[in-house]
Amino acid sequence: MVRISVVGTGYLGLVAAACFADLGNRVVCVDIDEAKVASLKSGKVPIWEPGLQELVARNTAAERLFFTTDYREGLAGSQFIFLCVDTPPLDDGRPDMRRVEAAVTSIAASVTHQVVLVNKSTVPVGTGEWVEERLASGKLAGSPVSVASCPEFLREGSAVQDFMYPDRIVIGCPLPDVAHRVAELHKPMAAPFVFTDLRTAELIKFASNAYLATRISFINHIARLCEATGVDVQEVARGMALDSRIGDGFLSPGLGFGGSCIPKDLQALRHLGRSYGIDTALPDAVLSINRSARAWVLEQVQELLGNCMRGAEIGLLGLAFKPGTDDLREAPAIDIARELQRAGCTVKAYDPAALNKALALLPDLVPARNAWELAEGADVLVICTEWNEFRHLDMKRIASIMRRRILLDGRGVCDPAAMRKLGFVFRGIGRGQAWERGSGQRA
Ligand SMILES: NC(=O)c1ccc[n+]([C@@H]2O[C@H](COP(=O)([O-])OP(=O)(O)OC[C@H]3O[C@@H](n4cnc5c(N)ncnc54)[C@H](O)[C@@H]3O)[C@@H](O)[C@H]2O)c1
């Protein structure tokens, strides 16, 4: 049984810990958040992620998964320490490295035995080397702590599945025997390995997320062109995706990307470029298009309601930045709600997982327990998150209980023709052709 410690028990760390435990390892999670650790010790998982609650319960019961706030207890006898603390963006886009620094300092003060420190947090290029230097100085000088980088590519909403069945495992480490030991630990996941150095591993993570973001902003740019020219972006995307050089991943037009990773990593990449005097036109454009994607909702509401915005009731279907999670970090729906409230609208919302977290951020948000309560008396409904349950709503019933039947589809969930047949004034991002065909003119 391999002994693993995971430092930082958030969306990444808890999933990694529970999965490693499920693969038969003994895993101890260390976190400074006492409330979170107490909750986990009592069997309550503080985040919403499919399959995670069961995985944590099963492995806690099997005595393979433990939680503590005590570094010494948490790191005792471990062969691998996975660093999974958060690296949120600072105002200038740089990742805030204070938690990484604090965790490395605590690790340095707590280990005296041979161990491999594997960094999974998304960190700037050069961080692994900085950690090596930090650990080689002071009290730990000469101690056998080796450093590796193993960036994580899981997605919230399918995190357990992604962790267990990754497309590739990137291992950055200057020492082949250490890289080999990290690879052994990941063997059950049966994915191809990319063995490389620390800096390359760190940049692969940023480059991957920035590329995905670029695809989303690209198709959102095309969506705008579709609206202007009367073309349906869904057809364009399908026509592009069948080209084997392009493929269909991350080619869904909508309200843009959010979450704690892609926007932050793109900003970090831009900061890296700036710090080396490299042109940042590409990340600048991707971020700017992403900002304007969420502005689409306010533009449509303004155009359709005109002077009647003050007091209008707008219902948001979905708040989380994507389906399958309760994460609201950089969620388009939160910005949209704020803008609509600023314009004098009453904003109601329903989300299967993120509603309580949203109420903490937006105290004036009116919560709805389900889609019907949301639609009752609403002037406009906006689909902000493509939860599966929104794909199967009885839209006839929804139409019958709204005050005005205006439907804005920010996630490509609805069939425009079917919605218009039910009497909705329908607008979907990039669905230009649908507007033209349905009403003879832009609705
Ligand atoms: N969330 C994702 O989907 C995802 C995917 C891939 C990579 N990442 C990267 O993983 C890292 C963590 O992201 P997250 O979403 O899990 O963050 P998170 O905020 O959900 O979790 C971070 C955890 O670290 C703990 N922590 C902070 N400082 C600590 C310290 N000094 N010692 C011990 N624990 C400490 C916090 O209390 C928190 O529980 C980030 O760098 C992120 O970019 C995240």
Q: pLDDT digits over 65-117, tens only?
A: 999 999 999 999 999 999 999 999 999 989 999 999 999 999 998 998 899 99
Check pLDDT > 70 for residue 313.
yes
Q: Give catalytic status of residue 261 as yes or no.
A: yes
Check pLDDT > 50 for residue 441.
no
Q: What is the DSSP letter of 372?
A: H
pLDDT band of 152, cuts 50, 70, 90? very high
Return the ligand 1 atom nearest residue 154 CA: 5
Instruction: Kindly state the tokens that stand for 271.
Output: 């900061």
Q: CB–CB of 7/85 below 8 Å?
A: yes
CA of 84 to the centre of ligand 1 (A): 5
CA of 87 to the centre of ligand 1 (A): 7
Dihedrals φ, ψ of 219, to 5°?
Answer: -70, -30
CATH number of the structural domain 211-439: 3.40.50.720
Residue 47 CA, chain-centre distance (Å), reads 13
Q: CB–CB of 376/398 below 8 Å?
A: no
Q: What are the distances in angstroms from CA 247 to CA 155, 240, 250, 314?
A: 19, 7, 9, 36
Check pLDDT > 60 for residue 439.
no
Average pLDDT over residues 425-436: 81
Q: What is the pLDDT of residue 432?
A: 82
Return the ligand 1 atom nearest residue 123 CA: 41
Return the ligand 1 atom nearest residue 156 CA: 3
Residue 188's CB is within 10 A of a number of other CB atoms, namely: 14
Query: Among 168-172, 236-240, 322-326, which is the least confidently predicted range?
Result: 322-326
**CA-CA distance, 6 to 27, in Å (whole number)?**
7
Check pLDDT > 80 for residue 195.
yes
Report the residue among 68, 85, 99, 111 best suited for mutation to probe ligand 1: largest number of ligand atoms under 8 A from its CB.
85
Q: What is the pLDDT of residue 135?
A: 86
pLDDT band of 440, cuts 50, 70, 90? very low
4: nearest Cα among 152, 129, 99, 115: 115
pLDDT band of 143, cuts 50, 70, 90? low
In b/e form, how buried is each residue of 135-152, taking b as 16+ CB within 10 angstroms? beeeebeeeebbbbbbbb
Which of 19, 226, 261, 345 is catalytic? The answer is 261
Q: What is the pLDDT of residue 387?
A: 97
**CA-CA distance, 341 to 13, in Å (whole number)?**
36
CA of 340 to the centre of ligand 1 (A): 31
pLDDT band of 443, cuts 50, 70, 90? very low
Report the residue among 7, 40, 86 best suited for mutation to probe ligand 1: largest number of ligand atoms under 8 A from its CB.
86
394: nearest Cα among 368, 370, 369: 370
pLDDT in tens, 393-405: 999 999 999 999 9
Average pLDDT over residues 260-288: 96
Check pLDDT > 80 for residue 142.
no
* Percent of the chain clearing pLDDT 70 (strictly above): 96
Average pLDDT over residues 191-218: 98
Q: 26 forms bridges with which residues in the sheet? A: 3
Q: What is the pLDDT of residue 141?
A: 67
Return the ligand 1 atom nearest residue 13 CA: 16
User: Order of strands across the sheet with 145-149?
Assistant: 65-68, 26-30, 3-7, 80-83, 115-119, 145-149, 169-172, 193-196
Check pLDDT > 60 for residue 191.
yes
**CA-CA distance, 227 to 266, in Å (whole number)?**
27
- Ligand 1 site: residues with CB under 6 angstroms? 7-13, 30-33, 36, 84-87, 99, 102-103, 106, 121-122, 152, 154, 156, 260-261
Please state whether beta strands 313-317 and 380-383 pair in parallel, antiparallel, or not at all (unpaired): parallel
Give the fold, CATH level 3, of 3-196. Answer: Rossmann fold (3.40.50)
| Residue boundaries of the structural domains of the chain | 3-196, 211-439
Rounded to the nearest integer, the mean pLDDT of the chain is: 95
127: nearest Cα among 178, 196, 176, 199: 199
Average pLDDT over residues 173-189: 97
Average pLDDT over residues 109-137: 93
Within this chain, domains 3-196 and 211-439 share the same CATH topology:
yes
* Percent of the chain clearing pLDDT 90 (strictly above): 92
Check pLDDT > 50 for residue 317.
yes
